[in-house]
Amino acid sequence: MTFARIAGIGSYLPGDPVTNQDLIDRGVDTSDEWIVSRTGIRTRYLAEAGTMASDLAVEASRRAMTMAGITAADLDLIIVATSTPDMIFPSTATILQAKLGNVGAAAFDLQAVCSGFVYALSVAEKFIRSGSHRKVLVVGAEVFSRILDWSDRNTCVLFGDGAGAVILEAAEYPGLLASAIHADGSKNAILNVPGQVADGQVTGDPFLRMDGQAVFKFAVSVLPSIAQQTCDTAGISMDEIDWLIPHQANVRIIEFVGKKLGMRSDQVVVTVDAHGNTSAASIPLAMDAAMRDGRIRPGQKAILVGVGGGFTWGAVLLRF
Whether 114 is a known active-site residue: answer yes
What distance in Å separates the CA atoms of residue 215 and residue 211, rounded to the nearest whole number? Answer: 6
Residue of 133, 247, 250, 275 marked active site: 247
Nearest to 218 by CA among 247, 179, 178: 247
In terms of DSSP H, where are the helices of the chain?
20-25, 32-39, 53-68, 92-100, 116-130, 153-156, 212-234, 251-260, 272-275, 282-292
The secondary structure of residue 277, as a DSSP letter, is: B
What distance in Å separates the CA atoms of residue 247 and residue 311, rounded to the nearest whole number? Answer: 14
Residue of 114, 133, 156, 231 marked active site: 114
What distance in Å separates the CA atoms of residue 279 and residue 159, rounded to the nearest whole number? Answer: 8
Whether 247 is a known active-site residue: answer yes
Class of residue 228 by CB neighbours under 10 A (exposed 0-12, middle 13-18, buried 19+): middle
Catalytic residues: 114, 247, 277
